[in-house]
Amino acid sequence: MGLICASAAVLGLLALYLTWISPGVSQKLGAGTVHIFALVLFYSTVAGIVLNLAGSGAGRFIGLGSCVATGIWWFVLASGAALSMGTVTARHPTRFLIPSGYVGWVTVEYGDGGPPLEMSKGAYICRVPSSGVVSTSSPMEEGWATDRYFYLSADGKLTKLPQTLPGKGGMVWSEWISSDQGVRAKTPNRLTESFYVGTESQYLATQKH
């Protein structure tokens, strides 16, 4: 029985890991399905550890080792997802291309009727105009991913903008998301993402007004 639980834990981890490394699969399955995979993995691992510790024979060491390994792997993946976005699903990352030298707030209005965002090499491309406001019909995906921010010069050169802790030379600050919910809507029908581009001193100056 212990080996059966260990096998279930390994299969649950494999299914969960595949959904997390594939944003397309993760988005299609949704948070509910991925959460079920996580529960199967968790309870199979716990049951496997208990049963193998109480069992006998050489096979219990294989089952125990498998359960401990899957438990540690699950903990690392779940912790990474929780620290990133507090959710179990993965999403496509976004590359924000901002006019070179731009300083100020950038606002992206998702589900607002504008043109959809481009997709290139598994990432959304968000081209920010000089106004700093983007309206797109693309929905904002739920989940965790690592977005990238760049200055885009007139000749097409990209300069990466770091997002750091205070005092570390960052250029992207105060990212937050707000929702515009209709009166009868059960979920927000429009999401707005905002962040500030500039040096830390420039960002702090905006907080004094």
Give the tens place of pLDDT for each residue, 40-68: 777 787 777 777 677 666 666 776 777 77
Per the domain annotation, does 185 fall within a domain? yes
| Confidence (pLDDT) at 151 | 98
Rg (CA), the chain: 22
Per the domain annotation, does 89 fall within a domain? no
Per the domain annotation, does 149 fall within a domain? yes
Residues 6+ apart with CB under 8 A from 34: 16, 19, 20, 26, 88, 89
Per the domain annotation, does 63 fall within a domain? yes
**Residues 167, 72 share a domain:** no
Sign of dihedral through CA atoms 204, 103, 84, 180? positive
Per the domain annotation, does 73 fall within a domain? yes
Higher-scoring residue by pLDDT: 26, 204: 204
**Residues 47, 150 share a domain:** no
**Residues 131, 192 share a domain:** yes
Higher-scoring residue by pLDDT: 116, 113: 116
**Residues 183, 100 share a domain:** yes
Check pLDDT > 80 for residue 138.
Answer: yes
What's the structural domain count of the chain?
A: 2
**Residues 201, 110 share a domain:** yes
| Confidence (pLDDT) at 185 | 46
How many other CB atoms are found less than 10 A from the CB of residue 85? Answer: 15
As a whole number, mean pLDDT of residues 100-113 equals: 93
User: Coil, helix or strand for 34?
Assistant: helix
CA 97-90-99 angle, 5° bins: 5
**Residues 202, 112 share a domain:** yes
Sign of dihedral through CA atoms 191, 91, 20, 79? negative
Domain boundary among 49, 84, 119: 84
Higher-scoring residue by pLDDT: 144, 140: 140
**Residues 16, 109 share a domain:** no
Check pLDDT > 50 for residue 186.
Answer: no
Average pLDDT score, the chain? 81
**Residues 186, 125 share a domain:** yes
d(CA 175, CA 54): 50
| Confidence (pLDDT) at 6 | 63
Domain boundary among 32, 56, 84: 84
Residue type at 28 in one-letter notation: K
User: What is this structure's pTM?
Assistant: 0.69
| Confidence (pLDDT) at 1 | 61
What pLDDT band is residue 167 in, cutting at 50, 70 and 90?
Answer: very high
**Residues 179, 143 share a domain:** yes
Check pLDDT > 90 for residue 133.
Answer: yes
Contact 91, 23 (CB under 8 A): yes
| Confidence (pLDDT) at 84 | 47
Domain that holds residue 73: 2-84
Domain boundary among 24, 51, 84: 84
| Confidence (pLDDT) at 3 | 60
**Residues 118, 184 share a domain:** yes
Provide, rounded to the nearest whole percent, the portion of the chain with pLDDT above 90: 41
| Confidence (pLDDT) at 56 | 66
**Residues 117, 58 share a domain:** no
**Residues 153, 80 share a domain:** no
As a whole number, mean pLDDT of residues 2-27 equals: 71
